[in-house]
Chain A
Amino acid sequence: MSYLEFLRDYGPRLIDGTLMTAAQFVCASALAILIALVAGLMKLAPNALIRIPAVVYIEIFRGTSLLVQLYWIFFVLPLFGITLEKFTAGFVAVGMNLGAYGAELVRGGIQSVPRGQWEAAYALSMSPAKRMWRIILPQALVNMLPPWGNLLIELLKGTALVSLISVADLMFEAKQINGSTFLSAQAFGTALILYYLFARALVTPFMRWLERVMARRIGRA
């Protein structure tokens, strides 16, 4: 079977898988960004009662394996009465894991905003929430976009693990095709290329574009 024939026969399934990977990626990214923002802000709180839960969360999710977290969420939580559908369990696990890494980026981004900006905002008598939301976060965001680009690539790679709980993503389809045809090189080779293109032809250019837009909004470009 030529590679073209392989693509003709299995291409549609690989495309379906890629779309599922894209859906996982989008949902997991949204969750990761939300968690990163909340946990990153909490970690900077002066009050230990707010700070400690964030520290514990970040420690646990960065200190243990994503696969184990995924299995916990899918197989163990039901024992406590929380049953998630496999699609949901998949992106929740990936999002929570990468969100913990993102929290550190948020914290670092906020801390990289010069102290003079806090002081200038305070000198206008802005409330703490407004200082953060209107003055500090927009600048922190610009500073942390480049590392977020890397993190989202990591997140994309991480989504491949959801195939292990039978979410029909790209990796899952590649494995299925391999299982029924034994065309390992074609199946996994195509998956490899598709993951790479997803990262380098979609995610990275999008982040670069976002960096340029933000840089312009802050008057740096």
Chain B
Amino acid sequence: MKDLHDLSRYPLRLEGPDRPMVSFRNVTKRYGDLVVLDGLNLDVAEGEMVSIIGPSGSGKTTVLRMLMLERIQGGVIYVDGAPLSHMERGGKLVPANSRHLRAGREQIGMCFQHFNLFPHMTALGNCMEGPVQVLGLSKQAARERAEDLLEMVGMIDKRDEHPARLSGGQQQRVAIARALAMRPKVLLLDEVTSALDPEVIGEVTEVIRKLVQKYRLTIMMVTHQMGFAADISDRVCFFYDGRIEEEGAPADLFSNPQKERTQQFLSAVKSAD
């Protein structure tokens, strides 16, 4: 196993037209002594919608957080061919510094279970913040972009409201618009409907459906909504104990799971519904 930590085993870049948009290569994530993900290998193609399902604590959120928020302890993560977790120095990969991480993560958007909108800004302000402060767009250009996106998620009428005055479903739609305003190549969705009342889940899933079917955005989505995942995903990964226990097209994985753990999980979820 030692040679897995030898960075010279990993290419400096992923080349070619078929290269994945996101690639985890032998990625290990630890919190102290707790190994949360051990040698994860996962490729996501451009325009692909991958759903991540699995029991609580299996590491689903961690997969997304490694792309956006956390450092990793082993392996390499590539985004659009370029290393994200590492950077090239003198023809070799070395662990990324925070500047490289931040620059690489400009290509990624993330939405959270609890929305995390900025409470002191309006819906419009939330969507303009990144483009103005990070991408350096003019206020005018950022406003147009934000308004287009708020229109797309059906929130243009509420553009001047603060998050405290919006329902959960509305906040989450603004949060999606905020992430998209950065024009990300990859969108990460971590249980974006889990904190919502059942009657407003649909308004958020409709937006996601649009992103998939109309805009062909590359999406990695952690979800407990099996029906929605089955309906919309190109591929479903079942996580168990920090590993991908089983993956496949939703039709196969949901109707004909091969592994016992997958079967147990799916029947447990089904009986809970």
List chain A positions with a Cβ less than 8 A from chain B. Answer: 114, 116-117, 119-127, 130, 134-135, 138-139, 142, 217-220
A218–B162 contact, CB under 8 A? yes
A220–B118 contact, CB under 8 A? no
CB closest chain-B residue, reference A116: B116
A125-B105, A126-B133, A134-B129 known; A119-B116 Cβ under 8 A: yes
Q: Point out the residues of chain B lying under 8 angstroms from A138, CB to CB.
A: 120
Residues 114-144 of B, flagged 1 when their CB comes within 8 A of A and 0 if not, give: 1011111010000001100110000000000
Q: Point out the residues of chain A lying under 8 angstroms from B68, CB to CB.
A: 119, 122-123
A125–B134 contact, CB under 8 A? yes
Check: B4 CB closer than 8 A to any chain A CB: no
Q: Point out the residues of chain B lying under 8 angstroms from A139, CB to CB.
A: 119-120
Alpha-carbon gap, A32 to B90, bound state (A)? 49
> Could you give 30 example pairs across A and B, Cβ below 8 Å?
A114-B116, A116-B112, A116-B116, A117-B116, A119-B69, A119-B110, A120-B118, A121-B118, A122-B69, A122-B105, A123-B105, A123-B110, A124-B130, A124-B134, A124-B178, A124-B182, A125-B105, A125-B182, A126-B129, A126-B134, A134-B133, A138-B120, A139-B120, A142-B120, A218-B119, A218-B162, A218-B164, A219-B119, A219-B163, A220-B164
A135–B118 contact, CB under 8 A? yes
Q: Which of B69, B103, B114, B161 contacts A123 (CB 8 A)?
A: B69
Q: Point out the residues of chain B lying under 8 angstroms from A122, CB to CB.
A: 68-69, 102, 105
CB closest chain-A residue, reference B104: A125
A125-B182, A134-B129, A134-B133 known; A219-B112 Cβ under 8 A: no
Q: How far is the CB of B155 from chain A (nearest CB, A)?
A: 15
CB closest chain-A residue, reference B161: A219
Question: What total count of A-B pairs have CB within 8 Å?
Answer: 71
Interface residues of B in 173-208 (CB under 8 A from A): 178-179, 182
Q: How far is the CB of B146 from chain A (nearest CB, A)?
A: 13
CB closest chain-A residue, reference B68: A123
Q: How far is the CB of B144 from chain A (nearest CB, A)?
A: 18
Total interface residues in chain B, CB < 8 Å? 29
Check: B20 CB closer than 8 A to any chain A CB: no
Q: How far is the CB of A121 from chain B (nearest CB, A)?
A: 8
Alpha-carbon gap, A114 to B109, bound state (A)? 20
Alpha-carbon gap, A121 to B178, bound state (A)? 11
Q: Which of A120, A127, A134, A217 contacts B102 (CB 8 A)?
A: A127
Q: Point out the residues of chain B lying under 8 angstroms from A130, CB to CB.
A: 133-134
Q: Point out the residues of chain A lying under 8 angstroms from B114, CB to CB.
A: 116
Q: Point out the residues of chain B lying under 8 angstroms from A116, CB to CB.
A: 112, 114, 116
Which of A117, A124, A126, A127 gathers most chain B CB within 10 Å?
A: A124
Alpha-carbon gap, A216 to B219, bound state (A)? 36
Alpha-carbon gap, A76 to B166, bound state (A)? 58
Check: B165 CB closer than 8 A to any chain A CB: yes
Check: B38 CB closer than 8 A to any chain A CB: no
B118–A117 contact, CB under 8 A? yes
Q: Which of A119, A125, A142 contacts B112 (CB 8 A)?
A: A119
Q: Point out the residues of chain B lying under 8 angstroms from A126, CB to CB.
A: 129-130, 133-134
Check: B106 CB closer than 8 A to any chain A CB: yes
Q: Point out the residues of chain A lying under 8 angstroms from B106, CB to CB.
A: 125
Alpha-carbon gap, A40 to B171, bound state (A)? 32
